[in-house]
A and B are shown apart, each in its own frame.
Chain A
Amino acid sequence: MGDLVFDVAHLLAGGMVVVSFLLLYQGRMYALLNMFALHAALLSAAVAWQALTQDAAHLFVSAAIALVFKAIVIPAALHRIVERLGIHRAIEPVVGVGLTMLAGTVLVALSILVMLPITLASDALAREELAFALSVVLLGLLMMITRHNAVSQVVGFMSMENGLVLAAAGARGMPLVVEFSVAFSILIAFIVIGIFLFRIRERFDTVDLQALDQFRGERR
């Protein structure tokens, strides 16, 4: 039984990392959203498995939130938004697929190298979950940096957040996981409503302050 517990948890969390990689290079909007739904479904399964093995009933609530809200409602809503904004056909030029994948691989290696040695005190299951979760978080961050479109940035953010829920579920006996899921769901709902209401197509450059200043006439 012990091996099965470990293997299934490993499989599901590892699957999330793989899907995170798939998210990185999706060019078409609909494909991206479908991939994200898969990501959230895997998260839901992983959390449910943790609930079962840890005997923690409250985690089932988190799993249910992940499945209903993130795997079904949000992708469906984003589908409609993409349609309304007329960006469904736009094949987004992802900046250098090869380079992005390489960076992603480096990030995964980094998170494993960082997490595994320092969590020796924890049990093997929690260690692997944390290493996978950090990979998913970093890959989500990478996606937010490399994408230029608000919808795919939001998908990056949500995949990052999936990694956080995975980490919280993996930490044995952690309280408030459900509250975190709810808080994040509210956050994401706001983001999605924001995109819809204000028809934000492009991301706003957050790094290049100079360009913004110029736009405002702040420079002479």
Chain B
Amino acid sequence: MSGTWKSGVAGVLLIPALAAALLAVIPDYRWGARINVAAAALTALVALSLFVAGTGGDDYLLIDDLNVVFVALSTFVGFTTSVFSATYIAHELETGRLTPLYLRFYHAMYQILMFSMNLALVANNIGLMWVAIEMATLTTVLMVGIYRTHEALEAAWKYFILASVGIALALFGTILIYVAAQPVVGEGLPAMAWTTLSGSAHLFDPALLNLAFLFLLIGYGTKVGLAPLHAWLPDAHAEGPTPISAVLSGLLLNVALYALLRFKILLAANAGAVAPGPLMVALGLGSLVFAAFLLYRRRDIKRFFAYSSVEHMGICTFAFGMGGALANFAGLLHMTMHSLTKSAIFFAVGHIAQVTGTQRMEGIRGLTVSHPALGWGLVFGVVAIAGLPPFGLFTSEFLVVTSTFARAPYLAVPLGLGLLIGLGALLLRLQQVAFGAPLAQTQPARASLVPLYAHLALVFLCGVYLPRAVVDWFQHVAARLG
């Protein structure tokens, strides 16, 4: 049994790496798109096989119950996004915003991004994970700036500088974790491996762990997009190609939050260390309320949904900060549902921006009339992201709110307030964009609706019926998070 997880991990790493090399030399963009989809599909299938391949770990790589969920989610959304991307880029090529040469670069980068995100998730070594997250940052920076307009370059540069400072601080935290572990575990690789760290974390020096977590929280928190460290996020989402916005919101934020969760387990295992919970609760709640208010002032549709991502990452961080089996369960479920829903929304938004020729919301009217399939897709997506039933986000938000009421009622007030304020902004804008008389000058849609509705169907399904097996799995993982 010990070898099977290794071949699975090798699959999710090697397939994207080889595909990236192949895509870099293929000049025809149609073939590029096809290979991109095929490689992403293959990776997703291999990731599914990890569920049955068992768990295990060595010095560098690890598969356990926590990360296998994220690998599966990541590769699945990576696959659907590649399908969306194939139709999206055809339009970008026609309008001349991208050239075939840039597309070649784009496809290779897409697979490198998949590789580095998978590497960050399956890394057993905290240093290797850091290198992988840095690599993912670099590739996304290049993709955000791919349109080479003034705004795109500015967004890429801002993202670059802020994320670099963030990951530099995270590295300092990583070094401190090693310094804390080294007297207990001994020198060398074991002192950087999750498997050995989590087993002996109760023996580490608490003060060092505290300081390390502070750096890690600020560092990786920048990548999660928690306020007030979120400044890069809206720009990067708004100016890059929409498939990248979908991957950023749906996957990369999750990867950074996953890293934080891992370190939180270490702190939770040490009785002398400060509880990481209150810090995460404060940051999460702050992000939620702050982003909810800012939603009202957005005029750009992609920027609008980027702020919504800040809001939802705040909810997840808040839930994990509360801790306990129920809140952790809700947090995990919320991360999953948010990934699926937000990427679906960006699929819709990408096509909407193409048919209307603008990202400004005043230029978009009556979508349900002019493009019914697309418009209703957006409506369902926004209803889901607003946390209304019958979608899965309702379940997770409901669980977060009820567990907060049960344990810390005074925190439930700002939480509920933030959720309601966000809900108001979402419905207000949705009503303006989706209903009413359509503006005249729109193009017919040539959208790939399958990824959009597949995601929404999944979110809907989780809202009305969560299979027992999934619940058990999440409960099992939630118990480990402490």
CB-defined interface of A203-218 with B at 8 Å, one 1/0 digit per residue? 1101101001100111
Query: Considering the complex, which residues of chain B in the window 2-46 have a beta carbon less than 8 Å from any beta carbon of chain A?
Result: none
Q: How far is the CA of A190 from the CA of B164 in the complex (A)?
A: 11
How far, in whole Å, are A115 and B157 apart by their CA atoms in the complex? Answer: 33
**In contact, A175 and B158 (Cβ under 8 angstroms):** no
Nearest B residue to A166 via CB reads B175
**What chain A residues lie within 8 Å of B208 (beta carbons)?**
118-119
Rounded to whole Å, the gap between the CB of A202 and the closest CB of chain B is 10
Interface: A167 (CB within 8 A): yes
> Would B160 and A191 count as touching, CB distance under 8 A?
yes
Is A66 interfacial (CB-CB < 8 Å)? no
Complex Cα gap A207–B182 (Å): 38
Instruction: Give chain B interface residues in 300-318, CB to chain A under 8 Å.
Output: 300, 303
A95 at the interface (CB under 8 A from B): no
B205 touches A (CB below 8 Å): yes
Select B178's contact among A118, A171, A209, beta carbons within 8 Å.
A171
B153 at the interface (CB under 8 A from A): yes
Contacts of A200 in B (CB 8 A): 157
Measured in the bound complex, the distance between the Cα atoms of B119 and A183 in whole Å is 15
The residue on B at minimum CB distance from A198 is B153
Give the shortest distance, in Å, between A65 (CB) and chain B (any CB).
Answer: 15
CB closest residue in chain B, given A173: B187
**Residues B297 and A213 in contact, CB atoms below 8 Å apart:** yes
Given A187-B134, A206-B231, do A171 and B182 touch, yes or no (CB 8 Å)?
yes
A168 CB within 8 Å of chain B: yes
A130-B179 CB under 8 A given contacts A191-B160, A200-B157: yes
Q: Interface size for chain B: under 10, 10 to 19, 20 to 34, or 35 or more residues?
A: 35 or more
Contact of A176 among B125, B151, B154, B168 (CB under 8 A): B125
CB distance from B278 to the nearest CB of A (A): 20
Name A100-117 residues within 8 Å CB distance of B.
Answer: 114-115, 117
Assembled-state Cα–Cα distance A173/B130 (Å): 18
Residues of chain A lying within 8 A (CB to CB) of residue B101? none
Q: For A176, what are the chain B residues with a Cβ–Cβ distance below 8 Å?
A: 125, 127-128, 131, 192
A218 to B138, CA, bound (A): 28
A45 at the interface (CB under 8 A from B): no
B98 close to A (CB within 8 Å): no
Let me know if A218 and B303 touch, CB within 8 A. Answer: yes
Report the separation of the CA atoms of residues A173 and B188 in the bound assembly, to the nearest whole angstrom.
Answer: 6
Tell me if B183 and A121 are in contact (CB < 8 A): yes
A93 at the interface (CB under 8 A from B): no
List chain A residues, Cβ under 8 A from B479: none
Secondary structure of the A contact surface, majority rule: helix
Interfacial chain B residues near A204, Cβ < 8 Å: 154, 157-158, 161
Inter-chain CA distance A121–B207, complex, in Å, is: 11
B127, A186: Cβ atoms closer than 8 Å: no
The answer to whether A218 and B300 touch (CB under 8 A), given A186-B138, A204-B157, A206-B161, is yes
B182 and A172 contact, CB distance less than 8 A: yes
Would A218 and B131 be within 8 Å (CB), given that A118-B207, A157-B168, A173-B187 are in contact? Answer: no
> How far does the alpha carbon of A182 sit from the alpha carbon of B449 in the complex, in Å?
42
Structural contact, B175 and A167, CB atoms closer than 8 A: yes
Q: How far is the CA of A179 from the CA of B141 in the complex (A)?
A: 21
With a cutoff of 8 Å between Cβ atoms, the chain A residues found around residue B235 in the complex are: 212
B165 with A144: CB separation less than 8 A: yes
Residue on B with the closest CB to A174? B178
Whether the pair A206, B134 counts as a contact (CB closer than 8 A) is: no
A153 interface residue per 8 A CB criterion: yes
Return the contact of A114 from the options B130, B162, B165, B211 (Cβ within 8 A).
B211
Q: How far is the CB of B234 from chain A (nearest CB, A)?
A: 9
Q: Quick check: B172 and A164 within 8 Å, CB to CB?
A: yes
Contact at B207–A117, with CB atoms within 8 Å?
A: yes
Residue of B nearest to A182 (CB): B131
Residue B134 contacts which of A153, A171, A183, A219 (CB distance < 8 angstroms)?
A183
Instruction: Collect the chain B residues with CB atoms within 8 Å of residue A117's CB.
Output: 207
**Is residue A6 contacting chain B, with contact meaning CB distance below 8 A?**
no
Q: Does residue B298 face the partner (Cβ distance < 8 Å to A)? A: yes
Per the bound structure, the CA–CA distance linking A195 and B298 in Å amounts to: 30
Chain B residue with the shortest CB-CB distance to A209:
B231
- If A122-B183, A153-B161 touch, whether A187 touches B299 (CB-CB below 8 Å) is no
Query: How long is the Cα–Cα vector from A137 to B219 in the complex, in angstroms?
Result: 13
Which B residues lie at the A interface, using CB under 8 A? 125, 127-128, 130-131, 134-135, 138, 141, 151, 153-154, 157-158, 160-162, 164-165, 168-169, 171-172, 175-176, 178-179, 182-183, 187-189, 191-192, 205, 207-208, 210-211, 231-232, 235, 297-300, 303
- 6 A–B contacts from the bound complex (CB under 8 Å): A117-B207, A134-B172, A144-B161, A203-B161, A212-B235, A216-B299
Query: Which 7 A/B pairs are nearest by Cβ-Cβ distance?
Result: A173-B187, A118-B207, A176-B127, A167-B175, A183-B131, A171-B179, A204-B158
